Structures are given as C-alpha cells and as structure tokens.
Structure 1
C-alpha cells in the first residue's frame, strides 16, 4: 500500500462528553492512559500511515503541545489551526496542495483498529472518488445509514432524523478515503459539512462506495460510549477485531434458526423473527464472535422470488434485529437448486453448485473475506445439512435452535471453554 496522507479532524468542542473531562479538548480525553488521538496514531503507525495533518480548533494548542512534530510518536505531524469553524470539510480546501491524490479523513472522536491495507485496496480497485468505512451497530435506528447496490456503490443516504422502515444495518463510521478529484466537484468557500455539502451531492455521479467491515470503530462522544470503549480497549476487544488477525465466527442458518419457519419466504411480510432470536444474537455480538448468516435460498432458482425480493427480506431482518440491539456482520446466500421442472424456474440458477449446504462453500467464502479461523467457529442450524456444512468447513456444529446454542454459550463457550456442542 502506497502511504496515504491522513487528516485527523480534531477541532470539535465535545459538548456531549464534557462532563468526563472538563476543559480538555475532546480528542485529548484519556482512555486507558492515553488521549484518544494517541490511540488513533498508534493504529495508523501500525499500518505504515505516519504522515499526518491534524486540524485543530477549540483548545487546539493543547493538542500541538502534546504531540509536537510527532517524531516522539513515530509520525510526522503538521497542523492546520482553524481561526473560524470550517465544518468537517472546509479546512481541506485550505491545504489541498499538501494532500496526496487519495487521502484518509478521520474524525477525532472515534476509536478504531483496522487493517487499512484492505480498506485502501477496496478504494483503489474501484477507482472511487470516496470510500466510506461502514459497519453494523447495535443502534442503527438512530444512526446515519448508507444505502448501496450490489457493487457496494452508495446510492442513497438516510440521516438519523429521516424515517425508515426496513434497511440494511450499514452505518457510516467516520473513516473515509477521499480523492482530491472529489474536492474539485464541490464549492470550496468557507464552512463545509463533509456529508451534506461534499458527499451527498455527488452520490448520483456513482463514484462513492461503502466499505463494510466488522472491525472495531466506535464513536466515544457520550459518557456512556466512552465507558464502553474504555472497557473494550482494556479487554482487548478493540485489537481483536482487526482483520489482519484471525477471527472467530458463529455461522447461522436463517429459516427456522433466526426466523419462524414459514415455508419458502418470498416477501418481507412472510418474515417473522423467532422469539428470543434477537436476544441470542446480541449475546453472540457481545461475546466477540462475528455473526454471519449462511442460508440456502432456492426460491431464486425456482422463480418464486427475485434477488430484489430477497434483499427486501434481509433488510427487514436486519432492521428488526437492530431495533432489539442485535446485528449481523454479513449475509451469504446460495440462490441455486439442482432439480429442474418447476414452473417459472430460472435456468441460470438450476445447477449443482459448491455453495448450497451441505456443501461448505458459503462458509469458505466468508472465511476468506474475513480471515476466519474455522476451527474456532460454529455453524448453528435446525437442519442436518447445516451441521454437515459446518463440519465440512472445519467448524464445530451446533444442531438446534439459536437460543439453545446461546444458553450453552453463556455457560461454556463465551466463558472461554473449548468444549464442543454437537
């Protein structure tokens, strides 16, 4: 990865979190013995991203006095001090010539641990004007959500004030790779909001993408979230989610495991969560496992539902889980079916594939995408084919309901036991 210049936006006043450290600029509030900005620099340095511009504002002198030129922190730091508030993007135009063609822009109030080489490769492979890190979270109902197409291109943007019904749990996380080409498309005068004035007006041009990742990214801008982040740093949960490290996952069947079995589900109206499914999934989230659906959906091959119908069903699933504080890290599905002879079937999907359970293809795809250690992972489902797929992939197999698995997990698995549940 060619090094990118990184811009850290550290000028906020932090009024929501002022009670934690009165009189201290928000990016300098200490977490586990270090200012938030120092945690950010540590992660950037591990990724070889050491050329930093810090944009300061409120009490900015304290930031500059602490970090200086950055040499003592293994970085090269320069500063742009706002004499008037310029929003989350206005300052970029003041030092545009100092930026690399592609550069990172990061808000100064988030804790993260990412494999930035993956993030940058995604951006460059698409020739994107902007790539926004996105992730699922436990409160999507009050977060800004990105709407994307099958190519991960952003096609819409829901602010947290806008009404929403069913939606993909894909939250804008506050880390961006931007191209200087994008800056040329926006007015460069005065105060600019990155989302409202730069990104949203250019969605229709087709050059803005979402990079969805399960890695740790959390805003610590309230006392409650500050406490959560401090706990996660101390426990090692932040570092553990970096995709350069092996992950562990709970793979989940969908029908009969997350939702009530209702024949072949073709529309969102036919989808209904099982009692206790959201609570059980929330326990998996909190235990540090990736939660990934792996489901056979032959309704596509049979011509009984379209891919768009399936996306709508999954949006309802993610929205209802999100309302209960639970989330999925990804969804993998097989649209194929080997048997022919159905009225309206789609021939292009009538084949013997490697992704239809009991074959392990869906799990292997997920393992490659997220660097998953399958030997430390579980496949949970209510059909023998689910267990067979898990075992074929090298996982432990949990045959039964999601609630039963989680009850076992609370007693053994989530406490560090290596015992099998088969």
Structure 2
C-alpha cells in the first residue's frame, strides 16, 4: 500500500514556532513531527510515500531527501497555491494506482494502521475515516456513524450549537483511487468540506474506524507542549532519540553532564549538549542538540530546541524556546511563554507568563515583558459570544484591548474602506469608542463617527451611509459596569461567524498592519442622525395620524423621551413608566411584581395596548388590552402574521427554536417559512441576505428595531382596522416549554452524539443542536455557546406533554453528562 503525507501546513496558530518553518517540521522530542509519521508508516511496511507540499517546501525536501536515510521512498508534489486537502492529493493521482492511506504530517499518533486498513477492506469501503473521541471538538470535523460504522453525518469545525458528536475526524483516511474522480485537477477541493459530502449524498460506502489509540493534532501552542510531555510519559508509542541511561532519562551522543548537575526524569537531552555543574533540569524537560545549560540555572517542564545558550542563574518554567536563543544571567521565562528563534534576552529580563516573542528580537537588560513582542498569540477560547463581544469595562475590555480589536477588524478589511462607529450615552462607552476608532485608523481605514446612537439607529446609519461595516458600543442600565460591542456588516446586521473567526485569528496573532503616519485619515463626524432616523420613520407610514392610547415603558429614560415624542407626533396618547423587568422580556411566564403592575395597568386603564422597550431599543414586549403578554414565541408568530398579510405569498425567517404555529399561519396565508440557527446574527443574516429589500428591512426592524417596529405594527393595525387583540386571537394555540440544564464543556459533544444515536426511528435535524420530531411534537437540545449548559425546548399539543418532553431530555442530558 502507498501513502500520502499532507505536509503543506503553514501552522499559523503555532506561531512563533512556525515563523520560519512549516508545521510538519516543528520538533516533538527533538524530531520533526513528520519524521514520527514516516516512522509509523515504515513500522507497518508502508514505504512508498507521496508528500504534498506548499509552505516552505524546500525545508522539508532538504531534511528528508529521497527518504532513503529513513528507510522509505519519498516523492514530492508541490502546490503553487493552496488547493485544499483533496486538491493537494489529486496532484499525486498518477502515483496512486491502488487503495492508499492519507495522513497528516503535522499530527502525532501511534494508531495501528494495519487494523484500520483491515477494517477498510472488510467493509469494502470507498473511503474510511479514522475517528477519535475528544472532549472539545470545536476545531475538528465532527462525525456520527450508525451501528455498522457507516458515516451518516459530519460537519467541519462546528460552533457549540452545531456540535452533534464528540467523535472527530483525525485527518487519516484510507481511500480507493476512484474517489479522486469526483473532482478535477487544479480545483480547490477539500476532503471534509467538499468530497465527503458528495460521497454521503450519493450513498457511496463511507465508514468510520474509531480508534482508542493516541492522536494529537499539534494545532496550537498548548497542544504542542502537551504532545511533548505525553511522549515523555510514554502515552504515545514513538521512538525517543538517544540512549536511556536510567528510567525515563534519555541522552544523545556527545552530551556532557558535569558533576553536581541534577537531572530529574522524565527528561530528554539531545546530542552534543553541555549541562554544567549545579544546573538543575527538573522533570518534563526536553533539551535539543548543541545547547549549553550553565551553572545554577533551573529548568522545569520546558522544551528547548537547538543551539541555545542558557547562561548562569537563569530560571525557565513551562516555556518553549526555539533555535539559537540566548538567555543572559539572571533572566527568566515563565509558564506558557514562547521565545522565537535568534532572540537574545539580556541580564535580569523577565518574560511573564503567556508571552509570545517573535524571532530576531532583543530584550534589553532588566526589561519586564508583559505583552507580546511585535507578533503574538493568545490562548483564548473565543472573543465573540452569542452576539458580539461582552465583558466588564476596564477588566475584560480595556482601551488597549479595544484598540487592538479595532485594528484586527481593520485587517479583515485589508486596511481599505470605511467603518461607522457609534456608542450609547455613557462615559465608558464614549471612552472605548475613542479606542476603537484609534485602532481602525491605525490600520488605514476611514472612520465615520456616528455619535451617540441606539443600536438599531446605528444599523440604519450603516445602511444609509453605505459604509463597509460598523462598531457599536453600549452599556446596560441594569449593569453599567458591563459593556456590549456589536460588529456590523454593510447591511447593519451583526457580522457572521466566519468574519468573527478572522477577527479572532488576526487579534490572537496580532496579524495586522499599521499604516504609515501620513496615510492616517481624518475622522468624519455625523451630527444628530437620530432626528433624521425618526423623521424617516414618520415619512414612511401609510397613515399620518394614529389615535391609540399607549402605555409605554422602558428602563431607559432616553428611550422613553425619544419614543414618547415620536408617538405623540403620530397622534397617540402616551402614559410613561420607568420600570425594569430584568430578564422578563417576552417570557412565557414571569412573576415580576413590576411586570404584573404594568400588565394590570394596561388591562384596567383602557389602553389599546402596552409596550415595553429594552434599553438597547432592539427588542419590545407587547401587552394587548386584555393584559395578555406577547411571549417570545407569540411575538415571532405575530411578526409572521403581519408579514404574510402585508405581502401575500412572502417568506418569513424564524429561528429553529420558534413555535411551529408559524407554519400554520404560513399555510393559511400561502406563505413560506425559512428556519435558521438561533443566534441573533444568524437570524439577521438570513433575513437580510446579500440584497437588502424593503420587505426584508421591515421584518428585520420588527425583530431588531423596537422603535421602527412598533410604528410598523401600529401602521398595519390602522390600515387593516385591527386591534392588537384581534391579531393575538388569529394565532393558533401552541404549547412550548423550556429548561436549562448544566452540561460541562467536555461533555457536550458526547451528549449530542448519544442523543442522536438513541433517537431511533424519530426524525432528527442537526442544523443546530439536535431537534427531534416525535409523535407530532418536537424537542430541541441546544449546547450553549457561552456557558456550560444545554438549553432544552419542546412543543406539543398540550402543555403537559411539552413539559414532560423537556424534563425527559433534561434528565437524559444530565445522565449522559455525568456518566
């Protein structure tokens, strides 16, 4: 059998380790990780090997040559531009005349290839994927197999809401040559994203071989360090270079250990290295070739590459040190720090924990390095949550942080274009607006300062001025110490997850350019866009006078005054309250005293309806004249009803979790329902799409602009001679129930997989989480993206059945999570 080693990886998340070497050449226990892969293939008599190259290919060819030194025969296939995983293998098609194995050159594994190949042959599979169970599957492709091992579902790099399994694709495949006939040469094509979905759709035999053996994708700096430690602990069966002089201590040829030096196992010291007297190498040290460790220096749990000079009295803890680094006397480096090649750290300098120093740097004497130097990498789960960025002011989100994030956003726009920036009327929001503007300007962008606005008005301004994107900073009236930052696209919608990932990557690596000083642009200031926005709402109403008596509430006095003035201009009588319902907005049931007071006030005060607007002015809660609260699901149905009656045969977009009463309304009005993921950004992007139309703006505003949406509802009622009560009565009865249950991050993938596997003959949907249809009812199990919980929601033909369904699956989540 032949093999293909995919060795084109750039390894951007591993920088600064990969600043001047491809990812497969990063050393694990003093050998390039790809060398371990070649040794594994040779162990199973696979010696005819193709190597696909793209990034710095000569470094790999120069090291491995024709492979004869390693007991194999290597042929190289170089891509000029990245062609995707399958596209790179297609380059070697003439070489692959029989079943072959594809394996990554930048992962560490000791998998029994013979067992995997036997499984492939036994199943007569066209494509067999080697799978592994992991705790947190976000950076991998998740896979579900049936009882026979046949693959039935997979998704590449899911968000938490999309995680439906803890079984992931290792990137090791056993393939029939005919799979290469499903696409063309010189076509950008990926195994997971492109080829495997085709095989799944065409029902080709595609199986998953689940291994319990060691596999580690050296994807980030933490994984790199851990892989080295795992080898020392013998958790993975690979060849450790050097001679074992005592238990768990290996030493290479020509190495000298002077009297008085202390070596604690497990420890590996390479060739031609000198450890001087009274030096201390604690456990879990990996020292490469040609290093000098001087007197009274202490090293623990660290990886040091080649040609380094560690001077006297140096302290190193949990650090990775690349080639040709010099640490002068009394300098120190601490946990999770990385020092790039050809760097000099002078006397008494301190590298603080989690600091990354790019190659060719000079750290001056006595310097305390507490931020990444020039280029960086931060170990973060993610910057963005369910929607935008949230955190404590001057704790999670500082002015420095905001400026860097603005520059990272600018990097995704390649330093060209215009961004609008706005904030709400708080000192903290104004302060951080300045920082975001500074970061954007530093990347070469033009900035329009939209001033003090509410978020929906900022969205409208982004569309009106035709800018390339926007940033809006807001604080909460209930928690003024907490900040919310929304990043907007050109349509005024929150940016999609793909762009969020780009910003996160640019921010984490500090991979953004600062423009030259004479290219920094002037900030354009827009005065009072709110007045234009309100006048535009009035001008777009079909009815120029409304005669409604309205109870208006908001925790924000600014919103109260703005909306009350607008409603009075439209001929309404308004009574204002300044109550705070907390999280009561549009919930099915709530015992809030203030909410009960407000509903009673609407019911007994002869009001046409009541409306409460959140302090962001995005969301509203309606109460009809009978005191009925329009719950979240009821509001979604109400919006759908208004849209279908406004545009017959139209389309409404609703979240996956919304009541299926919407479909009944659509059927009655000859409309169509499009369901999308539950996050606000997915709903926004699905409503607006690529082309902004009047119909989509109306629906967008009903969901995300309480001021414009309220006037739209009043205009619809007036034009059709309806009361709000009439619309509520038109909505079919429905019964939903929701519950939140604890579920650790590590258990989420396992929970999703087992629930899918146990769903039997029920119809299962995995657009987001797992939605199970059963006997006319449904239940949605959704892993939360920000907290270690799962949210469970069900709908049925009675409240009792809905509650039973929710409780049943809540218990199941708890049981699987704790097992």
- TM-score norm. by structure 1 comes to 0.57
List per-residue Cα deviations over 1:126-146 (Å, max 9, x = no partner).
Answer: 111111111111212453211
Q: Which among 212, 221, 224 is matched to residue 222 of structure 2?
A: 224
Equivalent residue, structure 2, for 1:339: none
For the pair 1:69 / 2:49, whether they are aligned, the reply is no
For the pair 1:214 / 2:217, whether they are aligned, the reply is no
For the pair 1:179 / 2:164, whether they are aligned, the reply is no
Output the CA distance in 2 between the equivalents of 1:227 and 1:54.
26
Secondary structure at the counterpart of residue 228 of structure 2: helix
Equivalent pairs counted in the alignment come to 277
Equivalent residue, structure 1, for 2:23: 26
Equivalent residue, structure 2, for 1:237: 235
Secondary structure at the counterpart of residue 85 of structure 2: coil
Output the CA distance in 2 between the equivalents of 1:141 and 1:28.
25
Output the CA distance in 2 between the equivalents of 1:64 and 1:280.
40
Equivalent residue, structure 2, for 1:348: none
Output the CA distance in 2 between the equivalents of 1:91 and 1:280.
33
Instruction: In structure 2, list runs of 5 or more residues that go unmatched.
Output: 239-736, 751-757, 772-780, 789-817
Output the CA distance in 2 between the equivalents of 1:109 and 1:319.
33
For the pair 1:92 / 2:89, whether they are aligned, the reply is yes
Output the CA distance in 2 between the equivalents of 1:79 and 1:19.
26
Q: Contact (CA 8 Å) 1:186, 1:197: kept in 2 or not?
A: no
Matches within 5 A, 1:84-233: 84-161=81-158, 164=161, 167-206=164-203, 207-233=205-231
Output the CA distance in 2 between the equivalents of 1:16 and 1:69.
29
1:17 Cα offset (Å): 0.7
Which moved further from structure 2: 190-199 or 225-234? Answer: 190-199
CA RMSD in angstroms, aligned pairs only: 4.0
Output the CA distance in 2 between the equivalents of 1:225 and 1:200.
29
Equivalent residue, structure 2, for 1:55: 52
1:279 Cα offset (Å): 11
Matches within 5 A, 1:239-254: 239=237
1:213 Cα offset (Å): 1.0
The 3 A distance-change label for structure 1 pair 63 and 143 is closer
Output the CA distance in 2 between the equivalents of 1:279 and 1:182.
36
Output the CA distance in 1 between the equivalents of 2:71 and 2:232.
23
Output the CA distance in 2 between the equivalents of 1:69 and 1:171.
33
The 3 A distance-change label for structure 1 pair 204 and 64 is same
Q: Contact (CA 8 Å) 2:54, 2:78: kept in 1 or not?
A: yes
List per-residue Cα deviations over 1:245-286 (Å, max 9, x = no partner).
Answer: xxxxxxxxxxxxxxxxxxxxxxxx9xx99x9x97999xxxxx
List per-residue Cα deviations over 1:100-137 (Å, max 9, x = no partner).
Answer: 42111112211111111110011111111111111111
Output the CA distance in 2 between the equivalents of 1:166 and 1:60.
35
1:44 Cα offset (Å): 1.2
Q: Contact (CA 8 Å) 1:155, 1:204: kept in 2 or not?
A: no
Instruction: In structure 1, list runs of 5 or more residues that go unmatched.
Output: 241-268, 282-290, 292-304, 326-401, 404-422
Output the CA distance in 2 between the equivalents of 1:165 and 1:31.
33
Q: Contact (CA 8 Å) 1:128, 1:209: kept in 2 or not?
A: yes
1:160 Cα offset (Å): 2.3
Output the CA distance in 1 between the equivalents of 2:237 and 2:225.
17
List per-residue Cα deviations over 1:149-201 (Å, max 9, x = no partner).
Answer: 22111122122235646733111111111111111122334322222221122
List per-residue Cα deviations over 1:201-249 (Å, max 9, x = no partner).
Answer: 2212232111111111111021111011111112110129xxxxxxxxx
List per-residue Cα deviations over 1:360-408 (Å, max 9, x = no partner).
Answer: xxxxxxxxxxxxxxxxxxxxxxxxxxxxxxxxxxxxxxxxxx99xxxxx
Instruction: Answer with 1 or 2: which has the greater Rg.
Output: 2
Equivalent residue, structure 2, for 1:45: 42
1:69 Cα offset (Å): 1.1
Matches within 5 A, 1:275-314: 307=760
Which moved further from structure 2: 231-240 or 215-224? Answer: 231-240
- TM-score norm. by structure 2 comes to 0.30
Q: Which has the higher contact order (CA 8 A, sep 6+)?
A: 1
Q: Contact (CA 8 Å) 1:129, 1:182: kept in 2 or not?
A: yes
Output the CA distance in 1 between the equivalents of 2:88 and 2:759.
46
Output the CA distance in 1 between the equivalents of 2:173 and 2:81.
23
The 3 A distance-change label for structure 1 pair 224 and 166 is closer
Q: Contact (CA 8 Å) 2:125, 2:206: kept in 1 or not?
A: yes
Output the CA distance in 1 between the equivalents of 2:13 and 2:211.
27
Output the CA distance in 1 between the equivalents of 2:72 and 2:37.
12
